[in-house]
Structure 1
Amino acid sequence: MKTLEARIQEIEDRESIRELTAMYCKCVVQADIDAIVDLFTPDGIMEAGDTHVAGHEKLRAMYDEAMGDLRPLPCVHNHIIEVEGDRARGTCTLELRGVADGTSQIGAGHYEDEFQRLDGGWKFSHRNLILYHMVPLSQGWA
């Protein structure tokens, strides 16, 4: 059985990782690209479909292009997190609302994440977005 200190540390780590994913959503809503990039390790990777970028410079360029006229409102929940020392893996469900080209959009998916503790804080080392659908709200998702 783990020590009480180890169990408390794991709870704190899980909560810090949940907060990291929530901060990502907040930064996306605010279109704060520098803050989004700072949530990744220096060699951090973002994947979404055919997109695969690594490193802060390429992440910044990708988010600059992707955010354009998009006004997303992402919400994440249903976190499953496994912590092993200074590394962790997790998944969380994504519900997405937004506006693209003047049209209300609705989407859903999940993230498959890898995390690394750097300088006492957690960062994304690899984030993979699996998007189930993204359609005009008037069309519906079913």
Structure 2
Amino acid sequence: MAHESERGQYLDDKEEIRQLLAIYCFSLDNYDIDSLGETFTEDGVMDQGPGRGGPIQGRAAIVAGVKQRQARFERTCHQLGQSMISIKGDLGEGVTYVTAIHKDWNGHVATAYLRYHDSFKKVDGQWRILRRSSQAMLVQGFEEAQWNWVVRIKPEGI
């Protein structure tokens, strides 16, 4: 019976983390950056790449940075894809695929195909993002130098 209850808790925790990821995107797309900040631990770290400030630590600094970077967009749409999530106790790890479409105030549309590499921590019974590194697989309409890039294995003979 204990095994079933542990499995049930594990599945509940995974669902709570998936909800956390969805809340992050919903808040970002609504430009409700204060709510987005609540998805992070107080000492959380976000790294969106060298052209976007590199690693930023602390909830207040994350909120300030996201507000500044996202203000240039009239609209965004962050669509989550598959996630691989593992949990051990009150800590978790995850990789989630994201398609992020951005329209600036002049009408220019750009898209980033990303992976969120996350560490999670359960704080006072609630899952939060402890560390996020956004890694780009492909971008269209953005400057390429600003990203953390996924390192892909090079095929033999190329």
Return the TM-score normalized by structure 1. Answer: 0.90
1:127 maps to what in 2?
A: 132
- Partner Cα separation in structure 2 for residue 106 and residue 48 of structure 1: 15
Moved over 3 A (4+): none
Who is 1:53 aligned against? 56
Aligned to 1:26: 26
- Distance in structure 2 (CA, Å) of the matches to 1:106 and 1:61: 23
Deviation (angstroms), 1:61: 1.4
- What is the match of residue 139 of structure 1? none
Q: CA RMSD in A?
A: 1.5
- Structure 1: give runs of 5+ residues left out of the alignment: 137-142
The SS at the match of 2:66 is helix
Q: CA deviation at 1:64?
A: 1.4
Tell me by how many angstroms 1:69 deviates.
2.0
Q: Which AA in structure 1 matches 2:117?
A: E
Give unmatched runs, 5+ long, in structure 2: 142-158
Provide the residue aligned with 1:91 in structure 2: 95
Residue 95 of structure 2 aligns with an amino acid whose one-letter code is T
Write the mapping of 1:1-16 to structure 2, written as runs, cut at 5 A. 3-16=3-16
1:102-140 CA-partner distances (Å, limit 9, x unpaired): 21222201010000001111000001100223323xxxx
Deviation by residue 1:43-88 (Cα, 9 ceiling, x = unmatched): 0000011111010221121011111121221111211000000000
Higher strand share: 1
Bigger mean CA deviation after superposition, 48-57 or 127-136: 127-136
Q: How many residues align?
A: 136
Rg (Cα) greater in structure: 2
Q: What is the percentage of aligned positions where both structures have the same residue?
A: 25
Out of 65, 70, 85, the residue aligned to residue 67 of structure 1 is 70
